[in-house]
Amino acid sequence: MNVDNRLRTQEEKYSSDYSTPYPPEVADALNDLSQETVRDFERPIMMVPDTQRKLYYQLVKLLRPNYILEIGTFTGATAIAMACAFPSSSKVVSLDIDPKCMQVARKYINRLQYGDRVELRVGPALVSLKALKQEHSQRQYDLIFIVLYRGYVHREAGYEEKITIKKDIMKKWTKAVCEFNEYVLQNPSLQVVMLPVFNGVSFISKSP
């Protein structure tokens, strides 16, 4: 780890530089979005790094999902990266509690004319998830992305088991990530593999 609590930032940059770039208009929008996030937000580190976004971009291209659920929009970089990888018939539904973040996300989504590909919902994740279930009871999400800095994300994902995270640990969000990782690893109903990107990117599925 370095002082920003991130894994190997030089290797991360190398990986991004040698990954297929986004379409030019998307790359320009994401660059402007990143600069605005760094300038106007207290914790821009919460934005998913470029290597991780390109990983999601590639996964979406390979898997071709119809619906993607993202819990934790922040300023919208990940939602945009995924949206540019699929046709307009697919959709990312992205949730965040912060209206300021969502305002910035909507600005760049509109700039790219991705309004038909990205649906933003402002409010607590649990409230938004319940509303989605009521409005679209038959909808199946092919991919679900959960941003871990929010805390208590295992419950937001729909699991009944509870894990206690003390307030002082929640303030140090990297420790909360470790709590979540341990929870997933010890849960017999889940299967997980973690990649060394940012603070670790976990791919989680239900065990057979």
pTM score, whole prediction: 0.76
Lowest model confidence (mean pLDDT) among 3-7, 55-59, 153-157, 184-188: 153-157
Name the DSSP letter for residue 3. T
Reported as a pLDDT band with limits 50, 70 and 90, residue 13 is confident
Query: According to the model, what pLDDT value does residue 31 have?
Result: 96
pLDDT, tens digit (0-9, with 9 covering 90-100), for 164-198: 444 454 456 667 777 888 888 999 999 998 887 66
Name the DSSP letter for residue 48. P
Q: Residue 37 in contact with residue 45, Cβ under 8 Å?
A: no
Query: According to the model, what pLDDT value does residue 153 have?
Result: 46
Q: Which fold has domain 9-206?
A: Rossmann fold (3.40.50)
CA distance 78 to 91: 13
Query: According to the model, what pLDDT value does residue 70 have?
Result: 96
pLDDT, tens digit (0-9, with 9 covering 90-100), for 87-106: 888 999 999 999 999 999 99
Which tops the pLDDT comparison, 32 or 8? 32
CA distance 32 to 104: 11
Phi, psi for 118 (deg, rounded to 5): -125, 125
**pLDDT over 90 at 149, yes or no:** no
Reported as a pLDDT band with limits 50, 70 and 90, residue 148 is low
- The mean of the pLDDT values for the chain is 83
Lowest model confidence (mean pLDDT) among 12-16, 110-114, 164-168, 197-201: 164-168
Closest by CA to 30, choosing from 97, 114, 100, is: 114
The residues spanned by each domain of the chain are 9-206
Query: According to the model, what pLDDT value does residue 51 have?
Result: 86
